[in-house]
Every structure is written in C-alpha cells, then in structure tokens.
Amino acid sequence: MSQIRLYLDEDVLEGALVQALQSNNVDILTTAEAKKLSCTDEEQLIWAREQGRIIYSFNVGDFCRLHNQFND
C-alpha cells in the first residue's frame, strides 16, 4: 500500500498537528522545511505536485480556485 505524502503550507504550521502526524509515521513536509515560505499559492501547488505530495491547507478559497484552474 502506498503512503500518503503530505505537504503542509504556511497556514498549517501548528506544532501539535505536525507532531501528531509525525508520531503516527505520516510522511509530511512543511513549507518551512522545504524552504518555500515566501512562495505564492500557485508555486506551492506546483511544487507539491512535482514532489508527489498532497498539499494540505486551511486556505480554502485560494486553493479551491487553483484546483479548478489546474483541472479545467
């Protein structure tokens, strides 16, 4: 079974969530760890796709719009 690989954007940098996911062996990478803190939402999404990661964000409005743009 393949493991989900998450990429947590800047809106999700709460330490408790990151620690809980890591302690349960979830493959996560944060924007801080990837040195992508100043990138645009579109750049974040493109980078996550290139890395085979699922982006996880609380920024629903922007990423819903981007999702629709990328999937049209």
Q: The pTM is what?
A: 0.77
Place 72 in a pLDDT band, splitting at 50, 70 and 90.
low
pLDDT per residue over 12-31, tens digit each?
A: 767 788 889 889 889 999 99
7 to 18, 34, 38, 63, 65: CA distances (angstroms): 11, 9, 15, 13, 18
Q: Is residue 5 exposed (0-12), middle (13-18) or buried (19+ Cβ within 10 Å)?
A: middle
Distance CA(67)–CA(25), nearest Å, equals 27
